[in-house]
Structure formats: C-alpha cells, structure tokens
Structure 1
Amino acid sequence: MAVLSKIRERSMFLIIIIGLALFAFVLDPSTLGDFFNSSKINEVGEVNGESISRQEFVNELESYKQQTGGRVSEMQAAKTVWDNLIRKKIYANQLEEAGITIGEADVWNEVTSAQFVQNNPQYQNELGMFDENKFKQFLANEKENQTQLWSQWSNYMGQIKDNAERNTYNNLVTAGLGASLKEGETQYFIDNTKINAQFVYVPYTTIADSLVKISKSEVEAYISQRKDQFQVEETRDISYVKFDINPTADDEKIIKDDVAALIPELKSAENPAVFIAENGSDTNVNSNFQYKNFINQEVADKIYDANKGDVVGPYKDKEFFKISKVTEVAQMPDSVRASHILIPHVGAQRVAPEVTRTEEDAKKLADSLLTVIKRNRNKFSDLAKEFSSDRGSAEKGGDLDWFNYNRMTPEFRDFSFTNKKGAMDVVKTPFGYHIIRVDDQKNTQKVVKLATFSRKIVPSEDTENTVFRNAEQFALEVSKGDDFFAVATENKLSPRPAVGLKVLDENVPGLGNERQIVSWAFSKESSIGDFKRFDLEGSHVVAYITAKTEKGLMPVAKAINRVRPILMNEKKAEMLKDKLEGSTIEDIAKTNNTSIRTASNVTLKSPTISGVGVEPKIVGAMYNAELNKVYTALEGNKGVFSFKVTNRVLPTALPNYDSNRKRISEARKRLTYKMFEALKEATDIEDNRSIMYSSN
C-alpha cells in the first residue's frame, strides 16, 4: 500500500516524464538518450573536460563575422572561431598548470604602450604627452554606453591577452631548448662520417605484382595493428550529375536580334548615354577614350574605320551582345612623360596629418608657383623638391616618368593626353592641386569614345524549363529503383565524384560552395543509395550517396590502396631474402646473376645510394655495421640489400663544437611553431559542432 501511495502522489510527474519520453521516441528513437542529456543542447565541445558552450561559441562567431565584415562564409568563420577557442583554452590550461597568470595589469601595459594609443591626440594632455587617465575615461564612457567602439576595444584587449598567453608559454619552452657540447660533437660526426660499401641490390620490381596475392584480411590486420595511423573523420562519398542551364543557339539569336533592333534609335539619339541607360543596358557607358588594341579585336577594324555617329554591331563580346556608337574621334599618344608639383589641402585624399592649408590656400599657392615657373621654366625642378607633397617624384624634380592612359586619375590623365608636349597648367584632382608639365609623348594614334549598349546572353525561360525537366526526369528514373550510374549512362550523362566530404565542409568539388548538399549527405535520414535534386544557381544537380565512413578506424575498402603497396613489398622482400643469403658478397651477386655495386662517401645526413635512391634504413645499418662483415637480406625502400662496409672515414676532430651546439639549439627553437600541434594532439578535444550545422 505504501508503494501505491507514493505512485499516486507522484502520478502527474510520472505521466509527464513518460509522455515526453514517448514523444521523443516517436520523433527519433536515437535521440532518446540525448533528450535526457540536456548538456548536449548547450555545448559545442569540450577541451580536457572544460565545456565550450553554444552561447560562448555563438558570441565569438558573431564578433568574428563583424570584424571580417561578412567577407568570409559561415563555415570558414566557424572553423576559425573554433580553432581560436581551442588554442586559447589549451594555452590557458598550460599556463595554469605552470602557475603563470596573465593579469589585467599585463594586458593594460601592452595596450597603453601601443604607438597608436600613445600618439592619439584624444588621449594626450596640453603638452602633447600621453595621459593615461584620459584614456581610461574614454574607455569608461564607451563601456557605459555599450558602443560598438567599446566592443571593438574589448575584442582587441581579449586578443592581447590571448597573444600574451601564447607568447609567454612559447617563450618559456623556447628558453629551455638548448643543446650540449656533446650533442654538437655527436651531430658533427654523424653528419660528416663518410661510408664506403659494397652491396648487392635486388629491386622489388623484379617480381611481378601478379605473383603476389593480398587478401582483405591481411589489409584489415595491418591497419588493426596500426590504429593510430589509420584514424579517420566521418565522411561521405557522393556522385552527382549536373544539368547546366546554358543559353541555346536560339536564345542567342533572339537576344542578338533584339539588340540589332535598337541600332536606328541609338544612331539618331542626341544623348546616347541617356538612351543606353533608359533601355536598360547590362553594362555602363565607358566615357574614356579607347585604344584599338583594347577593343574586341573581331570588330576593332570596323570601329576604327567608322566615322563619328556611326553604329557598329551587333557583335558578340564574351557573354554579351553589343552595339557601339562612335561619339568622338581624336588623335592621342599611347604614353606620356610628365612632371608635377602636388599641393594638398585639408580634405584631400591621402593628405598627411600635418597639412593644415585650406583648399583655397592650396589653389593660391599652386597658381603662384605656376606664375613663377612660366617666367623661368628652369625653376620647376627646384620648386618640386621644395613644395611637392609627392616625395617620390619630388626628389626627381617632379618627374613621373612614362605612364599610359589608364594609370593616372582622370583629371590628371585628360590634361596629359589631350595637350601637346610642353603644356603646363594647374589641375585639380582628389589629391589636391597639381602643377602639371607635359614633358614628352609617343605613339600618337587614332582613339575613339564609344557609347555601347550591351545585353547579357542568358538562357530563355523555355531553356530553363527544359533543363529542369531533364533533371527531374533523371531523378524520376532513379527513384524507380534503377541504378544511378546505369541511368546516367543510358542518358549519355557523366556522373562526377566528390569523395571524402566532411561534416563541416561547404565546398563540393566541381560545384563550389554548396553547403546544402553536404548537410543533406550527413543528415540522419540519408543513407547509401539515397539521392536528391538540388536547384543551384545556373544549374540543377542530382546527387547520390555512394559511401559513408564513420569516425574511427579507416574501413578496409578505403585503406586498401594505401596498404596494398606496403604489403606487396613486404611479401616480395620475403620472397627475395633467401636469394640474398650468403657468406660473401661475391657469392650473393653470383646467386642473383647480378654485379656488385659500390656506395661511395654516403652519409647519414644525405642517405642516398647512387643508382638506387634514398635509402635511410640501409644507410643507417651501414653506419653502425662492423667493417668487412657481410650483412644479408635487409629490406629497403625499393628492394632487398646485402652489403659489406669496406671503409668508414671519420671527419677531422674539431677543437671546439660550440658552433655545432648553437646550430642544434637554433634549429630546435625554430620548431617551436610545432608546439601547439603537439599540445593539441595531447589534448582531449570533443568537437560537436556538427550538431549545430547538420540538417538532422
């Protein structure tokens, strides 16, 4: 009765629990455990048991995307933020274990010592000296108002702390990376000891691959014994057929005819630029003069033979059909040499902070300099050195050397190219006022201005519908149970593979950034043999899942291409070993119907045997071998060896090995960039980001 009483007391609680559990089971039985483990909902991973919460990750992600101005994709941002969080936590753990703390004072000292803070007038006193209290007050105001500027400063100080932690740890480790004199001496002898030997070598290629059988169980055994070398991430393999939506010949003809119909109106238009804009040209009017070699070469002759007011076209230029009206004809050089004196003013582009003159003052100064130069042209060089803010040319008396039509800002360019040699005047540009002198010109030729109407060549609606129906029909045939590849072959289509897609990938080879396809391939509902049609920009794709690889030990089917050559050589070595047994090198050579070879001046530093290639295992054996002793049947990279070391030449002993010691020490310190990867490998990291980004 007591038990029944307790059940009655808690009946509502039990009903709720059972109801929720059944609801979860109906949705997806595999999520039942996850339902009760609510921590999975709010975590994206762990580092040595320390949780990375979803909120922490999202906050860092949003901050990073703001910093980059949306110039990176979601998955690129997610990867960078994850890597930064992992790095930060790993270094923080290491410093904590070492008892080293990066405090607020350390961060503050780093921030206030930055030159851009020290030199900012906003944080300086009346004497122009950095005032720490002013800087503190500025930050306090920004923090109180929670401005975007405060967010940026907060992020910056966080980065300072992260960098300080990383640098402190790296510096501590680097300080302990030294080398002893004995190490220097040992390395000197290892690098410079020269070995001479006689050897017999039988390549693995002397045995045909067809004579060696490799079974699936042998491959499986090999990878089982080396599990750490064959760990893989969860991946998917897909194949897909792409149906591109390209304009047909009929589509092109319709667009060409539509463009041609506008020729009479463009020819009679008093203002061609307005006409082109009103009729919705797909490119803007280029108001610059154009040289013949920069115009579509198929119509360049026609355009340059035309007179002002003539219309040329329609002609195809890449992905457009165009008609062009000649609006102006002139004779111009293709390059000019000029000199200038630049007088900037407040508000001009790239103006130096110390410039205080107004635009009016700059104009007056430029006019007065021009007056002086016109009286005595020889003064141009000296005045350029004294007054021009363009120090690069000022040092050369204002000389800008030769430049082409497209190099200079339009106002500067137009004066230089439309005036004759020797012309000089004041010209205003976004950079200030220039006194320009045209020093020389070359290759004068005919140039034109064109008013060009363009229509992009795009597929028609009928074409789009036809391609869609083709993709849909293909998917329908596959849905009837027909083999994906057989259907493709029957329809003369070529499936493309995308092998080894990872759960957080966004690029599909041959398609680019198509995260939706990757997400579908990894969804819980998708399995091998499933397919789906995707409507992409400019195409339709039917994708088909060909393989699924779970995280853990690489499947035999995936490993066989990597393992087979290794096992092949091992078996060939066993077949060859008996042939390379013998008491003398001569006997072994005779048995194998080959000649004795010589290895001369071989070193461990460069373990290459002439006529064979790189053989570090064999050279290492030679280095430690007894003189004139025959060593038989040693497996190398490319074959089986028997050898006898005939001579070992030691290098001349040095009075001191300090330089060698320093080289070892410096080489070790240069490898500190590998420290983080070593720390990461030794850290227990759980990555659950796929929960956030999969379509489960």
Structure 2
Amino acid sequence: MAVLSKIRERSMFLIIIIGLALFAFVLDPSTLGDFFNSSKVNEIGEINGESISREEFVQELEDYKQQAGGQVSEMQAAKTVWDNILRKKIYKNQLTGAGITIGEADVWNELVNAPFVQNNPEYQTESGLFDVSKFKQFLATEKENKTAMWSQWSTYMNQIRDNAETNTYNNLVAAGLGASLKEGELEYLLENTKLNAQFVFVPYTSIADSDVKINKSEVESYIKNHKEDFKVEASRDISYVQFNIIATPADEEVIKNNISALIEDFKVSTNEAVFLSENGSDTSLNESFQFKNLLNQETSAQIFEANKGDVVGPYKDKDYFKISKILEVSQMPDSARASHILIPFAGSQRVAADVTRTEDEAKILADSLLSVVKGNVGKFGELAKTFSSDLGSGAKNGDLDWFNYNRMTPLFRDFCFQGKKGDMGVVKTPFGFHVIKIDDQKNNQKVVKLATYGRKIIASEATENVTFRNAEEFALAVSKNNKFDELAKEKKYEPRSAVGLKVLDESVAGLGNQRQIVSWAFGKETKVNDFKRFDLDGSHVVAFVTSSQEKGLMSAEKATNTVRPILLNEKKAALISDKLKGSSLADIAAANSETVRTSNGLTLKSPTLSGIGVEPKIVGAMYNAPINKVINSVQGDRGVYTFKVTSRELPTALPNYDTNRKRISEDRKRQTFKMYEAIKNASEIEDNRAMMYSAN
C-alpha cells in the first residue's frame, strides 16, 4: 500500500501511543444529564469529543439489519453497530494522529484485485482477461442511476477502507512489538529456576469468621480505594409472578369431544387433505409411511392393529388431541443401501456454476446411463466416478452406504424403500436426475400411511379471563401496600427474580426476550417498588422493581459478598501475624502448634506448595528472597506464611535465547484485540443509546 513509508516513519510514535494505552485506566464516562440540551439532542454518543449522530447510527443500524436479513434482534443489531462505529472511529483517530491515511488508490487496488471481481465474465475481455475499463464503466453506470446495486458496492468499498485501516494500524503496532534476546533469557530463567524452601503455614480458617467484625463503613472504604474493581453500569433487579394461560381439564374435555364428533365424517371422506383443511386441523397431511417405533407409544399398538379405513382416537399427543385414519398398510425395510449417479442441470439445487446442461439434456444423459448399467451393472461404479456430480459418493463407486427412511428426499426415498434389492431406475429430485441402484435392504416390517387430524390444546376464553383476573387482582393488591413477596407467598404464587438487568438487555431470566419489561424498568418515571402488569404471549406477568443501581460504583450492599471475604482475610492475617514471632521456623511453628513444611522444585510457572495448593504470591516472594533468611508474615491466598528459601537452582545456560525471544515476540503480535481494548478503555466514550430504547 501507499502507506508503508508512513508506517516506517511513524512507528516509534505509535509504539509510544500503544504503550500509554496499555497502562491507562478507564476514565469516568460523562453523565447523560445534558443529553437533551440543544447541542446533544441529535447525538447518540461521543468518543474523544467526536459526536456520533443519531442519523449516522440509525442509518448503519438499518443497513446492518437489512444485511442480517431479520436474523438478529433489535438490541443485538444495536450492540453490533455501536461496537463497529466505535472501532472505526478509534482506529481512524489513531491513524490520523500518526499522519497516516488510507487513500482512494488503496481501496481501488484492493477492490479490483478481489477474485470475485477478477473472475466475473461481465468485466472480462473475449479472451477471458480482466478488463478494468469495463469494471469502471459498470460502477459509473450504477452510480449515475443510483441503483440498489451501487449502494451495495459503496457499502463494500467502505468495508474495504475500514478493514484496511484496522489492518494497517495492527500491522504498524505489531511491527514494534518485538522482543530482545535479554527478554528471552529472562523468560527462560523465570520459567526454569527451581526453589527449595521451608515454611510455616497458618490458615485463615484457624480463626472463626465470628471472631472478626466487618462493618458497612469498612466495605464502603474498600470500594472507594479500589474503584476500578467496582465500577458498574446502571442495573435493575426485579421480581415477578407469571400467570400462565394453560388449558384446564375441562378445556381439554371440550376439545376432545369436538374431535370425537368428526370421526364418522372422517371415515367416509375421500379427500383427506380437504377434510383437514375444511375442519380446521392444526396439523397437515403427512404422506410418508410411518414406522411403529416413531408413533405415539400409547396409541401405536392400536394404530398398527387397525385396518385400512379405520379411525383411531381421539388420543393425546403432547400438546394436541388427534384422530388418525389408516390410509394404507404395507411392508417396508427400515434401512436401505443404494448407489447413485447424480446428473444435475442448470437451475437445480446446489448446482455448480459451470453446469449449463438443460433439464431435457440431463434426462437424456441419465436415461442413457441407466441403459448402460442395466446391460452391464459392473460399469456402475466407473460411470459414477466419471459422471456423478456428487463427488463424495462418486469416489466410492456411487455408494451412499446405509440410510434410514427419513434421511433422503421423498422421491429418492420412495424408490429405495418401496422397490426391491437390485432395482435400478431414474428419479428426478430438486438436485437433478439420479440413476439409482438399490444395493440392499434390511429389517422389513409393517408400516402405515396415516391422515391425522389434530387440534392444539389451548385454554378457553373463560380460562383466559380467569388468568387475566388473577393477574389483575394481584397487581391491584400490590398497589395497595407494595408488599410483593408477602402477597405472592400468601396467594401461593411462585415469585422469580431477574437480577442485574442492564439498560440495553432484552432477555429476562425465565421469560426470554422481553425487551418491554427491561425498557419499563429503566424508564425515567419507574422507581424502586413500582410494578406493572405485562400481557405476554401465553401468559400475564406482574413485575416489581426491587432494586436500582445507577452507573458508577457498586453499592456496599451489592459488593458485600465480594468485599467481606477479602476484609476477613486481611483482619485474620493481622491477628495471625501477631503470633508468628520467633527467631527460627521451628520456634514459630511450635508457638502456633504447626509444623515446619518443605517444598522442593518450586517454579514461578508452577507455584504449588506441597500439601497446600497453588500460592503464586508466596512463591513469587520466595523467588526474590535471600537464601536462608527467615521472611515473616507473608499473606497468601489461603493463609499467612513465614518461610526460608534453602536453595535456588538456576537452569543450565543456553547457547542463545532466540527461541524464547521469538515466542515472546509472536505472542505480543497476536494481542491486537487486547491492544484495541486498551485504547478503547483509555478513550472518553459517552454512550447514550439507552435514551433511544428506554420507556417514558
């Protein structure tokens, strides 16, 4: 690219930038109080002083959702688009600061060298060579006519630019992230130096938790002194009771009786598909044969004992009541083995781009091959290798191995299971024409073809009204005294909790995607103890806000479970340290009713103390301790230690440390994601998307 000379000129500058970024702490984001000021009303956010407009965000959001084809939710799309915008602006800002730009020539060169452009016949000469003038003319015409195709090409070129900026920056930084031989030597020493040590260990569990007092102010002080560990986004905790709309036994009986009334008409019907449609069946006609082991276990015996024309039921099958009419009874294997030669044609499914034969031409070829193999079946494998477009089976003489009844496309399946071993024929499927040879069959058994009328078991209108009334009465009772949990218990309902909901979440634990509930919980007018009834698909939910956490530092109440064990160990360590007095390990051990322990072969890479477990802090302290000096009261993860390093065994020196140097260098160059995250964390980012998606 044209930027290479700039990369070399600015490499030291960017290495300094990344160095600062990796050690920067996350700045407190600005508050959202001025969002609706005249200067902010059209902004969705800001990064390092650069505004991200609503128009820009919404346009990219719509483009992304269109590309995704409805396969992502609104909030998933919003998150992806926001992350993409941040990434582009962060990389752009870094490159601009270094005086590096991705020019039009860079984008154009990447575009015209793309294989799908080079190999498109529309942009080639008669001899098949890529003609850049034809491609330019094509783009100019699309742009002039402002076609949808031009919009797609424009988007693609913007993606090329964005990717080029990302790759340029990452390559530039990676170029400065090498390692020296001295670093390689140091890594070798750190990983392979072995320590032998003696120590006295007093566990924290030797002091009961009840003997140590932790008050709220100490928790609050710890949080303030460790702000980076306790920064949190705004969140809400809710409790809810769900009132599911479920059919009662009486509802089921009505549905069952209604189906029973159709049995006689079903028996005499001559067109089962029409019967199912006209009588409102919730299941459609299945024209495949059914095996006994795949039917409803409670009724399969009855169905297989019935005769053609009989109607079995009504019977309950999962969420349906059904009646089944036996249309056909036959004998069929449950597995078959066949070989085939697939002859596709232009327009068939999964056809290769170079297939140009018509359907008629494919049929003629398939018929010709069938004539050959009928005359000499031994040629089947050779012809499959030569003519079949199914390369996997073609390489095996056309063999498809064993398959069950439901694996193949219907017409292919019917030939293999309704024919007999040795039959050969041509069958057309969506994939083309198949020359098929039935190689074997097994487990011949009775099968039936059924027409099944089904009615889904749903609650009646009366049941729906009762469920709604229960939810409404519970909501009304909550409104009178705000005692959500007490009322739920009194009425024997089962309240559930959703803890730590974030402003842009869309899923509620136990309810799935319920963005409306999250949006309400974060509404400007919604406060702790507020409630609301929501009408969901198949249920009503009464939700109650139990807790609210604003953006900033975690409250002492929420942080207690994290902070309390830390403070307990600190206080216990102080109490234990007062007892670890003495001139030798033996004296200290005796004074504390402990023993002197020994660990040999300790390394920083494997910091496991014998009989204790992993203690990286202690082994790290041992690494730098003088030989045979007693080091007193060192706090570890499991307790307090007094130790003495008895020997330090250095590894054998290597002729050179280039292997270690290369490994360090390669590891660093693979950290581009971490580098980006470091720069993002050091950036001033204001995210106001919540204003678009919250209620009120």
TM-score w.r.t. length of structure 1: 0.94
Between 1:365-374 and 1:97-106, the stretch displaced more is 365-374
Paired position in structure 2 for 1:376: 376
Paired position in structure 2 for 1:436: 436
Paired position in structure 2 for 1:114: 114
Separation (CA, whole Å) in 1 of partners of 2:440 and 2:472: 66
Aligned: 1:558 with 2:558: yes
Q: What secondary structure, in the 3-state scheme, does the structure 2 residue paired with 1:247 have?
A: coil
Separation (CA, whole Å) in 1 of partners of 2:391 and 2:556: 68
Paired position in structure 2 for 1:660: 660
Residue by residue over 1:146-195, the C-alpha shift from the partner in whole angstroms, topping out at 9 and shown as x without a partner, is: 22222221111111111111111011111111111111111111110111
CA shift, 1:34, in A, is 6.0
AA partner of residue 127 (structure 1):
S
Paired position in structure 1 for 2:216: 216
Between 1:338-347 and 1:444-453, the stretch displaced more is 338-347
Residue by residue over 1:654-683, the C-alpha shift from the partner in whole angstroms, topping out at 9 and shown as x without a partner, is: 111111111111121222221111110011
Residue by residue over 1:605-639, the C-alpha shift from the partner in whole angstroms, topping out at 9 and shown as x without a partner, is: 11111221211111011111111111111100010
Paired position in structure 2 for 1:527: 527
CA contact (8 A) 1:320 1:456 kept: yes
Q: What secondary structure, in the 3-state scheme, does the structure 2 residue paired with 1:617 have?
A: helix
Q: State how 1:118-157 maps to structure 2 within 5 Å.
A: 118-157=118-157
Q: State how 1:633-648 maps to structure 2 within 5 Å.
A: 633-648=633-648
AA partner of residue 207 (structure 1):
I
Paired position in structure 1 for 2:324: 324
CA shift, 1:144, in A, is 2.1
Paired position in structure 2 for 1:596: 596
Paired position in structure 2 for 1:681: 681
Residue by residue over 1:361-394, the C-alpha shift from the partner in whole angstroms, topping out at 9 and shown as x without a partner, is: 2222222222222222222222222222222222
Aligned: 1:54 with 2:79: no
Separation (CA, whole Å) in 2 of partners of 1:360 and 1:556: 78
Paired position in structure 2 for 1:20: none
Q: CA RMSD in A?
A: 1.5
AA partner of residue 234 (structure 2):
E
Greater than 4 Å deviation, 4+ residue runs? 30-35
Paired position in structure 1 for 2:15: none
Q: What secondary structure, in the 3-state scheme, does the structure 2 residue paired with 1:655 have?
A: coil
Q: What secondary structure, in the 3-state scheme, does the structure 1 residue paired with 2:243 have?
A: strand
Separation (CA, whole Å) in 2 of partners of 1:522 and 1:199: 54
CA contact (8 A) 2:32 2:688 kept: no
Separation (CA, whole Å) in 1 of partners of 2:466 and 2:130: 71
Paired position in structure 1 for 2:27: none
Q: State how 1:405-420 maps to structure 2 within 5 Å.
A: 405-420=405-420
Between 1:378-387 and 1:58-67, the stretch displaced more is 378-387
Separation (CA, whole Å) in 2 of partners of 1:384 and 1:530: 71
CA contact (8 A) 2:240 2:542 kept: yes
CA contact (8 A) 1:471 1:541 kept: yes
AA partner of residue 650 (structure 1):
L
Paired position in structure 1 for 2:303: 303
Paired position in structure 1 for 2:197: 197
Aligned: 1:289 with 2:289: yes
Residue by residue over 1:302-328, the C-alpha shift from the partner in whole angstroms, topping out at 9 and shown as x without a partner, is: 111111111111111111111111101
CA shift, 1:143, in A, is 1.9
AA partner of residue 456 (structure 1):
K
Q: What secondary structure, in the 3-state scheme, does the structure 1 residue paired with 2:481 have?
A: coil
Q: What secondary structure, in the 3-state scheme, does the structure 1 residue paired with 2:670 have?
A: helix
Distance 1:624 1:97, change over 3 A: same
AA partner of residue 94 (structure 2):
Q
CA contact (8 A) 1:582 1:632 kept: no
Separation (CA, whole Å) in 2 of partners of 1:168 and 1:313: 70
Aligned: 1:81 with 2:96: no
AA partner of residue 143 (structure 2):
K
Paired position in structure 2 for 1:18: none
CA shift, 1:33, in A, is 6.6
Paired position in structure 1 for 2:23: none
Residue by residue over 1:409-451, the C-alpha shift from the partner in whole angstroms, topping out at 9 and shown as x without a partner, is: 1111111111111111122222222211111111111111100
Q: What secondary structure, in the 3-state scheme, does the structure 1 residue paired with 2:246 have?
A: coil
Residue by residue over 1:62-107, the C-alpha shift from the partner in whole angstroms, topping out at 9 and shown as x without a partner, is: 1011101121111111111001000000000001111111111111
Paired position in structure 2 for 1:341: 341
Q: What secondary structure, in the 3-state scheme, does the structure 1 residue paired with 2:465 have?
A: helix
AA partner of residue 435 (structure 2):
I
Aligned: 1:484 with 2:484: yes
Paired position in structure 1 for 2:396: 396
Aligned: 1:270 with 2:270: yes
Separation (CA, whole Å) in 2 of partners of 1:386 and 1:235: 65
Separation (CA, whole Å) in 2 of partners of 1:498 and 1:287: 46
CA contact (8 A) 2:482 2:529 kept: no
CA contact (8 A) 1:44 1:688 kept: yes
Paired position in structure 2 for 1:461: 461
Separation (CA, whole Å) in 2 of partners of 1:612 and 1:416: 66
Distance 1:32 1:132, change over 3 A: closer
Separation (CA, whole Å) in 1 of partners of 2:466 and 2:392: 61
Separation (CA, whole Å) in 1 of partners of 2:513 and 2:35: 31
Paired position in structure 2 for 1:17: none
Distance 1:33 1:382, change over 3 A: closer
Q: What secondary structure, in the 3-state scheme, does the structure 2 residue paired with 1:168 have?
A: helix
Residue by residue over 1:514-560, the C-alpha shift from the partner in whole angstroms, topping out at 9 and shown as x without a partner, is: 11111111111111111111111111111111111111121111111
Separation (CA, whole Å) in 1 of partners of 2:33 and 2:366: 81
Residue by residue over 1:566-605, the C-alpha shift from the partner in whole angstroms, topping out at 9 and shown as x without a partner, is: 0000000001001112110000110011111111111011
CA contact (8 A) 2:272 2:285 kept: no
Q: What secondary structure, in the 3-state scheme, does the structure 1 residue paired with 2:45 have?
A: strand
AA partner of residue 689 (structure 2):
R
Paired position in structure 1 for 2:6: none
Separation (CA, whole Å) in 1 of partners of 2:190 and 2:451: 75
What count of residue pairs does the alignment treat as equivalent? 666
Q: What secondary structure, in the 3-state scheme, does the structure 1 residue paired with 2:542 have?
A: strand
Residue by residue over 1:442-497, the C-alpha shift from the partner in whole angstroms, topping out at 9 and shown as x without a partner, is: 11111111000000000110111001100110111111125111111111112211
Q: What secondary structure, in the 3-state scheme, does the structure 2 residue paired with 1:299 have?
A: helix
Paired position in structure 2 for 1:493: 493
Q: State how 1:608-619 maps to structure 2 within 5 Å.
A: 608-619=608-619
Residue by residue over 1:105-132, the C-alpha shift from the partner in whole angstroms, topping out at 9 and shown as x without a partner, is: 1111111111111111111111111111
CA shift, 1:347, in A, is 2.0
CA shift, 1:32, in A, is 10
Q: What secondary structure, in the 3-state scheme, does the structure 1 residue paired with 2:498 have?
A: strand
AA partner of residue 41 (structure 2):
I
Paired position in structure 1 for 2:251: 251
TM-score w.r.t. length of structure 2: 0.94
Distance 1:520 1:482, change over 3 A: closer
Paired position in structure 2 for 1:19: none
CA contact (8 A) 2:478 2:484 kept: yes
Between 1:365-374 and 1:294-303, the stretch displaced more is 365-374
Distance 1:374 1:275, change over 3 A: same
Q: What secondary structure, in the 3-state scheme, does the structure 2 residue paired with 1:78 have?
A: helix
Separation (CA, whole Å) in 1 of partners of 2:335 and 2:673: 50
Residue by residue over 1:225-250, the C-alpha shift from the partner in whole angstroms, topping out at 9 and shown as x without a partner, is: 11122111111111111111111111
Paired position in structure 1 for 2:366: 366
CA contact (8 A) 1:343 1:366 kept: yes
Separation (CA, whole Å) in 1 of partners of 2:358 and 2:573: 86
CA contact (8 A) 2:34 2:40 kept: no
CA contact (8 A) 1:242 1:542 kept: yes
Paired position in structure 2 for 1:10: none
Q: What secondary structure, in the 3-state scheme, does the structure 1 residue paired with 2:485 have?
A: helix
CA shift, 1:333, in A, is 0.7
